[in-house]
Structures are given as structure tokens and as C-alpha cells.
């Protein structure tokens, strides 16, 4: 979900006093043929470097590792030297496209220059559930490259049954064996979805709660935490993997790649459920920076965007870390390229795609929003959860 009323006041509140110290833009890198791309490793498939992505897109890519926090990224792009350094960039969660576009840090896109736009998932078209996640004031400013609907990982070998409700995270039978993510965004959103859909609290919009709603959700978590319900709040990918693989926890809210890697590491049947109450849905997007457009890097950007909407990329990101493809035709592509996908990989791709479609269809889903209106309340109450 986009925060469409994002404004300069909110931007400065998020960046704080550190923005002043970073205020003077640095000198631009010398222009060359390579697209200077500020992105995390999850934005590529194939070889460990970016060589396969460069080959498939037909451009040179100079990738720069992406920072992890949305506020730091916005600071870099709006008051820092980001537009001098990067031609293209990814986001850190829902709402960054509004923040960056409203400050003139990214450029409007011409989708007619992206042939694979014809294959984009219908949810991104005008009126679709995710249409606003790539637009600012009705104009397309981003292309999605991965998405998901975050759910619950559980050890089926031990539990012996399918789990389909967030309630198990808070159930006494898993006391001390449950884990939540140490991040107020997904944890408060998914808890709010559960409390809303189960009728335990009145919550209008789990993606953008009022101060009173935030308090109610956090007090619920504080009470559960004090009662010993949670083994821990996990931090970082490897921590999440280790907790599940070691059987220190049996149920955990987490990213799907954590479930996949934990299962591979432990050789256990660790599954990823479809929650009947709904999930936090999210995507990651790629954007053309103002500086990239000014330096004439549009053509290179559009070739990269076209690759991200190709079944070549979609099939591989699904087979690897399990992210949702952003285009139609993935299974058709897999079936047409048997040399690239063995029987096990093909079966895994088909099963994962079906589960993702199930999760995305749940009515209670709420889209990620890293800039909720009452962000200070989120931060303040999350600190109380952590301190409890």
C-alpha cells in the first residue's frame, strides 16, 4: 500500500538530523556505458556476479550493494549524492516510490519502451490490487521485479499437520517455540491482520493503523511476550534460518526464502502456509533515477526492466529463493526449456507458484507500507515491545 500523502515534513521527520550532515551532493561518477545500479543481491539470478543478468539484458551493469533501510536510501537520494552516483535503484518496501517521486529523485517511465510490459501480472494494471505500488499520482515510476505474501513457516515433521492461521504463533501449545520478525513493519501488520480478521480487535486498515490501533496490537504482543510465548524475535536471514533448522522454534513468521533454506539445511519438512486471515503482501521495484535519465541511461534501464518482466528471470527467482514472478507465462517458459529445469526443479516451481497464487488471493491481505501515517506511534510502541 502506498502512502500517497507523503510530504516534505514526513520526509524530514524520518531522516532526522543526520540528513543535514549528509546534505551536500557528491561529484558524479564519470559517465560510462555501464548502468550504475544500486541494488541488493536478491535482484539478480544466475551467476553470483551480475554476468548472466548483463548477458540476458544486453547491457553492462555496474552493481552497487544497496543499503538496508528505507530512510537511509531516501536520504541518499533526496539530500545526498545518490542521483550523482546511481542510474537506477531498487526500493526497500512499499511507499518509497511515492517518497522519491514526490521529491523529484526518480523519473516517470514510458512503458511502451518495455516490450515485456505486455506480460506483467494483471494486479499491476490500472485498477489492480498492486497498481499503486508502482505509480505516483497515477504515473508509472517503477517496475516490479519480485514480490510475495509473507506467511508462517512451520516444522511439519514435528507438528504433523498443516497450519493455516496466525493463531498458532500465540497459542499455548507453541509457548516458547514461536518466533516473530524483529521488525515493526511486517510483525505489526500481520498481527493486526490476525486480530482484525479473528474479531479480537477493531482495526480498519492493518497497513496504516491509527495510534490507538497500534497501541492495541503492541499491547497484545507485550502481554504474549511477558507470558513467555515467543522464543525470540529473529534478526537477519541467517538467524531466521538457524532457528528453524535447529528446531529451536517450530513456528515462525518469516520470509519465504528463510523457510526454503532452512528446509534444505536441516533436511526437515519445513513448510510455508497459507494463512486464512491474510498476509502482508509486498513487492520490490526498480526505478530510473533523475540522474540516470539526465546522463542518457534510459535505454539501458529499459532493457533491464524488460529482463525483470521476462519469464527467464521470473522462473529463476522462483526456483532459487522462491520469490513471486511479476509476469505471466512462467510455467509455459519452464515447460519449453526442459534443459534448464530438471524434474525436481519443475515440480518445485509449479508447487510454489500455486501456493503464491493461493496466498495472494486471500481477502485479508494488506500491502506493505513502510511509511504509515502514524509512523512515530509505530516506532514508539515497537520500542515498548522490544523492551518488554
pLDDT digits (tens, 9 = 90+) for 190-199: 999 999 999 9
| pLDDT exceeds 90 at position 20 | no
Comparing 71-75, 79-83, 98-102, which segment has the lowest mean pLDDT? 71-75
Segments of the chain assigned to CATH 3.40.190.10: 8-141+281-309, 149-279+365-387
Domain 8-141+281-309: assigned CATH number? 3.40.190.10
Residue 104: how many other CB atoms lie within 10 Å: 11
pLDDT digits (tens, 9 = 90+) for 184-237: 999 999 999 999 999 999 999 999 999 999 999 999 999 999 999 999 999 999
pLDDT digits (tens, 9 = 90+) for 27-45: 334 346 899 999 999 999 9
Residue 23's pLDDT is what? 37
Whole-prediction pTM:
0.87
Residue matched to cell numbers 499520482: 137
Asked if residue 365 lies in contact with residue 349, where contact means CB atoms within 8 angstroms, the answer is no
Could you give the C-alpha distances from 13 to 16, 33, 161, 280, 336, in angstroms and in order?
A: 5, 37, 46, 25, 51
Cell numbers linked to 261: 533454506
Asked if residue 147 lies in contact with residue 286, where contact means CB atoms within 8 angstroms, the answer is no
Of the candidate CATH numbers 3.30.565.10, 2.40.30.200, 3.40.190.10, 3.20.20.70, the domain formed by 149-279+365-387 belongs to: 3.40.190.10
Provide the percentage of residues in the chain whose pLDDT is more than 70: 92
Amino acid at each position: 500500500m502506498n502512502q500517497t500523502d507523503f510530504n516534505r515534513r514526513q520526509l524530514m521527520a524520518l531522516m532526522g538530523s543526520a540528513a543535514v550532515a549528509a546534505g551536500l551532493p557528491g561529484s558524479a561518477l564519470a559517465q560510462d556505458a555501464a548502468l550504475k545500479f544500486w541494488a541488493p543481491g536478491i535482484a539478480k539470478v544466475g551467476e553470483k556476479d551480475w554476468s548472466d543478468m548483463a548477458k540476458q539484458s544486453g547491457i553492462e551493469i555496474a552493481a552497487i550493494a544497496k543499503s538496508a533501510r528505507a530512510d537511509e536510501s531516501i536520504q541518499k537520494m533526496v539530500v545526498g549524492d545518490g542521483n550523482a552516483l546511481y542510474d537506477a535503484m531498487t526500493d526497500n518496501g512499499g511507499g518509497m516510490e511515492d517518497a522519491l517521486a514526490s521529491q523529484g529523485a526518480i523519473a516517470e517511465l514510458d512503458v511502451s519502451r518495455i516490450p515485456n510490459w505486455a506480460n506483467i501480472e494483471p494486479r499491476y494494471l490500472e485498477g489492480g490490487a498492486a497498481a499503486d505500488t508502482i505509480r505516483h499520482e497515477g504515473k508509472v515510476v517503477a517496475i516490479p521485479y519480485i514480490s510475495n505474501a509473507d506467511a508462517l513457516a512451520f516444522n511439519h515433521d514435528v507438528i504433523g499437520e498443516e497450519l493455516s492461521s496466525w493463531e498458532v504463533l500465540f497459542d499455548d501449545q507453541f509457548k516458547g517455540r514461536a518466533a516473530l520478525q524483529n521488525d515493526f513493519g511486517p510483525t505489526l501488520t500481520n498481527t493486526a491482520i490476525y486480530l482484525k480478521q479473528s474479531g479480537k480487535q477493531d482495526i480498519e486498515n492493518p497497513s496504516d493503523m491509527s495510534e490507538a490501533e497500534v497501541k492495541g496490537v503492541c499491547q497484545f504482543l507485550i502481554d504474549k511476550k511477558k507470558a513467555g510465548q515467543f522464543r525470540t524475535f529473529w534478526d537477519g536471514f541467517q538467524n531466521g534460518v538457524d532457528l528453524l533448522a535447529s528446531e529451536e522454534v517450530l513456528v515462525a513468521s518469516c520470509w519465504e526464502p528463510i523457510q526454503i533454506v532452512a528446509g534444505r539445511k536441516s533436511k526437515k519438512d519445513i513448510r510455508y502456509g497459507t494463512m486464512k486471515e491474510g498476509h502482508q503482501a509486498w513487492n520490490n521495484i526498480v526505478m530510473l533515477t533523475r540522474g540516470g535519465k539526465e546522463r542518457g541511461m534510459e535505454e539501458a534501464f529499459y532493457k533491464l526492466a524488460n529482463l525483470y518482466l521476462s519469464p527467464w528471470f521470473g522462473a529463476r527467482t522462483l526456483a532459487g529463493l522462491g520469490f513471486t514472478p511479476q509476469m505471466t507465462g512462467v510455467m509455459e517458459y519452464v515447460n519449453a526449456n526442459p534443459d534448464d529445469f530438471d524434474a525436481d526443479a519443475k515440480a518445485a516451481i509449479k508447487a510454489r507458484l500455486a501456493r503464491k497464487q493461493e496466498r495472494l488471493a486471500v481477502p485479508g491481505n494488506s500491502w506493505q507500507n513502510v511509511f504509515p501515517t502514524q509512523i512515530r506511534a509505530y516506532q514508539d510502541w515497537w520500542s515498548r515491545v522490544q523492551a518488554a
